[in-house]
Chain A
């Protein structure tokens, strides 16, 4: 059914102006690279971060409030893509940083990391686009006043252990206690995670359920509706 050679009407094979350079990176791409580089340097030299490592790349559209920068700790070789938002509150009565991003993490475009108590992202975690992580919520007890005026809940904490992968559009929300995504786990696209999961698990759906998990006693993958472990997991 699929025919890659199917003609597309009125398509043309373009005649390239710089044929010998066509297989190189786009030279226009140097501008975003330069602005990213400059903005990362600017953040590093002028923002009072709790700590910031080497080789950090932060896109210039990333929203970080300078006033709360002492509550943010960023490790080495971290990359933060376009339009991400690192948000924290009330830095006076919190001990230590509220957002900790360790070495080698990749924070995708449009991610929102909103921490009141503590969101800890360990080494080598990759996070897809438009992921929401928040360790608090809007309070909703009073029926009369607008929810905007009701403040925030006390919230919990979030820890994403090392080597995890969070798929596009997932939401990780902790309302109380600590939510731990165990080591090398996978959170699938558009999943909503509100509970902790053990290491080496795959979380799917809304609300998220455990689709597959590695059993260290058996040394094999278990779960996943009886599918064999060799089937590559969707996310």
Chain B
């Protein structure tokens, strides 16, 4: 069928069911979850997993879109009070199956686009004792993550901060299946496992610098 024909151009009517479910679920979250804040027009798919016991430490902006099977998790005891540990600002999009797990602070600034299967965690499973299973060893101290505004994190990437602070500057691009464990300045393209900066915008010269550029500003554990 020619896609330019009339009915093909309108939204599939069967999608209506999923849209209504999504709408209801977003409203359910807004009414019954004790979020630190939640903005207008934030749309959350009904398969998302959000840690309700810890929802008082999640702060969501306006017009956020969370797609199917994405999750926001917090590994802290639920009775603990304190500042928000997951902050997602306006206009962020979190695509299918992405996972954000926070313990200290994960701050995602405005207009960040997170693609599918992305993992963002600011802590890790502890591994010092060689005798007990890792599942029983709890979590490390962890660090803090800030993802600058306008950044794009591509499919399957992982942003992991074991200690200190990991800052991705504004308008960075993290390539598919990269593993980012160090900070990067603004306007850089990160690629590989472990990620290195392959392209960067030089603000003084007003041009792109390619190739292995200078080392990241902040030295962190790999």
A-side interface residues toward B, CB under 8 Å?
1-2, 4-6, 8-14, 16-19, 21-26, 28-29, 82-83, 104, 106, 109-110, 123-126, 128-130, 162-165, 167-169, 184, 186, 188-191, 199-200, 202, 204-206, 211, 214, 225, 227, 229, 231-235
Contacts and interface: CB of A to CB of B under 8 A. Distances in A.
Contacts, number: 187
A14 B31 contact: yes
Nearest to B88: A8
Contacts of A110: 97
Contacts of A206: 193
Contacts of A125: 133, 135
Given A4-B84, A10-B40, A231 B221 contact: yes
Given A23-B53, A190-B158, A16 B32 contact: yes
Contacts of B140: 232
B95 interface: no
B70 to A, nearest CB: 11
Interface in B183-208: 193-194
Interface in B48-96: 52-53, 55-56, 59-62, 69, 78, 83-84, 87, 89-90
Interface in B1-58: 28, 30-40, 52-53, 55-56
Contact of B99 (A129, A163, A186): A129
A12 to B, nearest CB: 7
B128 to A, nearest CB: 8
Interface in B130-172: 130-136, 140-141, 144, 146, 156, 158, 160-163, 165, 167
B105 A4 contact: yes
The B interface is mostly helix, strand or loop, or mixed, namely loop
A223 B10 CA distance: 59
Contacts of A184: 127, 130-134
B126 interface: yes
Contacts of A11: 37-39, 59-62
Q: Which of B32, B59, B144 has the largest number of chain A CB atoms within 10 A?
A: B32
A169 B158 contact: yes
Contacts of B127: 165, 184, 186, 202, 232-233
Contacts of B78: 23
A186 B162 CA distance: 15
A24 B38 CA distance: 19
A106 B135 CA distance: 9
A14 B35 contact: yes
A116 B124 CA distance: 33
Contacts of A191: 193
Given A2-B146, A4-B105, A234 B90 contact: no
A195 B158 CA distance: 23
Contacts of A21: 32
Contacts of B55: 22
B117 interface: yes
Given A4-B105, A130-B117, A165-B134, A22 B37 contact: no
Contact of A168 (B37, B99, B128, B181): B99
Contact of A200 (B119, B124, B130, B135): B130
A124 B62 CA distance: 41
Nearest to A224: B222
A11 B144 CA distance: 23
A13 B36 contact: yes
B103 interface: no
Contact of A16 (B34, B69, B134, B162): B34
Contacts of B84: 4
Q: Which of A4, A123, A124, A184 has the largest number of chain B CB atoms within 10 A?
A: A4
